[in-house]
């Protein structure tokens, strides 16, 4: 039942759940382009591969008498929403469990004020109940939930949580209420939350920090596909569609690694071209993938960028927390970049040319106002131009790691 931004479904054992891969593959018709890169994969997608262990763990955590709380973190395009859609299919086959989906991107000011009202009405609709009176606030909503919690369990699947975290309308009282909702066993209410950063890292917002909402979650990071899953993604759908490509699976994996979006997008283009007797438009494809990979660079912290520079320079890097975090996110794969083209997507403001660095450093000295106007391009870490001096050494160090045989700029 949909109400506002919430779609609630009462689980039933008559629903199919997540079907076996072979059955999903059988839906692919001969000659069909099965690959999907324009939006998240729907539930039971025939081109959703891997993640079985993770989905099984999530099912065990959420499909209990008192559902748990999971935070799934990952970079854009790594497959978080696609995984959530498969999880939703699993939950819809769980007898007596009400799953409610919401994308925070659709929460406007009006729906924020009606959050618990709309959430309650969507749940009531899924249960076949017509509310005699609107649920005007959290207390009324919680009384409603506790009445039904004797028979049912509830899981709220919330995508793009950082949008809520950055919105001042959702204040400390709101997040205190969410924590209370999930923390009290009388409510039988669980959360599955998706974000680009760990919930705790979003604690720069006073609302989350003050409520300690993040403290109830079991956090997981979504990274690259498993090797076998990536290989099967490249092979099995094409076999089912009876479409042959000139490019081998090994060439796809070597070029695009085990990144689900890069593989889906490349396979989509190659298959489309094969269907229509065309040559793949690699320039258009590379431009699209380049933008995605640039965004991944821009999301890296300063020390992560420096570590990736070391990898590009083929230096031996320690297997410390920085490397482990990059591997977990899927940017590193066995001390190498997750795909060769990732190095080519370095944004200018992270690795300017030697001449550009020297010019900018000189500009800081001679024309600070003009330099301030270009600070976002050359020194994105700076908030004020007077902080430049503390970063010059770091820029020089990163430059030397990429170009070890050249003399770097001198402040």
What is the per-residue pLDDT across 110-139, written as a single tens digit (0 to 9) for each?
A: 677 789 999 999 999 999 998 888 898 999
User: Can you tell me the distance from the alpha carbon of 327 to that of 186, in angstroms, rounded to the nearest whole number?
Assistant: 39
Parallel, antiparallel or unpaired: strands 97-103 and 6-10: antiparallel
Q: Is residue 301 part of a domain?
A: no
With beta carbons less than 8 A apart as the criterion, state whether 299 and 75 touch: yes
Coil, helix or strand at residue 189: strand
pLDDT the model gives residue 289: 95
Task: Please answer whether residues 165 and 205 qualify as being in contact, where contact means their C-beta atoms are separated by less than 8 angstroms.
Answer: yes
H helices then E strands: how many in the chain? Answer: 20, 7
Residue 212 lies in a domain: yes
Judge whether 75 lies within some domain. yes
Contact 368, 385 (CB under 8 A): yes
Residue 59 confidence (pLDDT): 98
Question: How confident is residue 240, by pLDDT bands cut at 50, 70 and 90?
Answer: very high
188 closest CA partner among 28, 312, 64, 44: 64
| 286 within some domain | no
DSSP state of 346: -
Please indicate, yes or no, if residue 42 is contained in any of the structural domains.
yes
Q: What percent of the chain has pLDDT over 90?
A: 63
Q: Which domain holds residue 359?
A: 354-402
- Asked if the structure places residue 316 within a domain, the reply is no
Per-residue pLDDT band for 212 (boundaries 50, 70, 90) equals confident
User: 196, 221, 246 — which closes off a domain?
Assistant: 221
Of 221, 252, 284, which one is at a domain's C-terminal end?
A: 221
For tokens 């821009």, name the residue. Answer: 298
Q: What is the DSSP letter of 104?
A: G
CATH number (domain holding residue 12): 3.40.50.300
Q: What is the mean pLDDT of residues 185-204?
A: 88
Residue 258 lies in a domain: no
Both tokens of residue 385? 């131009």
Give the pLDDT confidence of 264-307 residue by residue, as tens digits.
999 999 999 999 999 999 999 999 999 999 999 999 998 999 89
Percent pLDDT > 70 in the chain is: 82
How does residue 405 score in pLDDT terms, banded at 50, 70 and 90? low
pLDDT band at residue 4, thresholds of 50, 70 and 90? confident
Please check whether residue 335 lies inside any domain of the structure: no
Domain count, the chain: 2
pTM of the model: 0.83
Q: Which two tokens stand for residue 39?
A: 């939006």
Among 221, 239, 255, which residue terminates a domain?
A: 221
Grade residue 312 by pLDDT with cuts at 50, 70 and 90. Answer: confident
Overall average pLDDT of the 164-184 stretch: 88
């Amino acid at each position: 039942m949909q109400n506002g931004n919430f779609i609630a479904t009462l689980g039933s054992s008559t629903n199919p759940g997540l079907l076996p891969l072979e059955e999903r593959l059988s839906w692919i018709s001969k000659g069909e382009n099965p690959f999907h890169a324009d939006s998240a994969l729907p539930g039971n997608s025939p081109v959703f591969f891997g993640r079985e262990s993770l989905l099984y763990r999530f099912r065990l955590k959420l499909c209990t008498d008192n559902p748990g709380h999971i935070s799934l973190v990952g970079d854009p395009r790594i497959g978080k929403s696609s995984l959530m859609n498969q999880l939703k299919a699993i939950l819809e086959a769980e007898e007596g469990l009400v799953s409610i989906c919401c994308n925070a991107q659709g929460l406007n000011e009006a729906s924020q004020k009606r959050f618990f009202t709309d959430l309650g009405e969507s749940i009531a609709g899924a249960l076949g109940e017509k509310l005699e009176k609107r649920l005007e606030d959290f207390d009324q909503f919680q009384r409603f939930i506790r009445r039904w919690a004797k028979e049912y369990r509830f899981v709220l699947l919330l995508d793009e949580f950082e949008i809520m975290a950055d919105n001042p309308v959702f204040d400390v009282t709101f997040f205190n209420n969410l924590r209370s909702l999930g923390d009290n066993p009388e409510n039988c209410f669980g959360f599955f939350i998706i974000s680009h950063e760990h919930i705790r890292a979003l604690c720069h917002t006073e609302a989350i920090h003050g409520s300690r909402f993040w403290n109830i979650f079991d956090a997981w990071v979504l990274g690259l596909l498993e090797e076998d899953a990536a290989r099967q993604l490249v092979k099995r759908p094409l076999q089912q569609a009876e479409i042959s490509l000139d490019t081998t699976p090994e060439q796809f994996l070597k070029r695009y690694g085990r990144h689900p979006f890069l593989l889906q997008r490349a396979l989509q283009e190659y298959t489309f071209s094969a269907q229509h007797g065309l040559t793949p438009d690699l320039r258009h494809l590379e431009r699209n993938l380049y933008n995605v990979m640039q965004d991944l660079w821009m999301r890296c912290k300063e020390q992560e960028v420096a570590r990736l520079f070391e990898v590009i320079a083929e230096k031996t890097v320690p297997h410390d927390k920085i490397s482990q975090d990059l591997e977990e996110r899927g940017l590193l794969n066995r001390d190498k970049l997750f795909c060769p083209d990732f190095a080519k997507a370095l944004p200018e403001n992270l690795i300017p040319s030697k001449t550009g660095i020297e010019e900018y450093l000189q500009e800081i000295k001679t024309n600070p106002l003009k330099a301030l106007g270009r600070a976002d391009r050359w020194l994105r870490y700076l908030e004020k131009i007077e902080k430049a001096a503390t970063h010059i050494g770091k820029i020089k160090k990163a430059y030397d790691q990429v170009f070890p045989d050249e003399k770097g700029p001198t402040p």
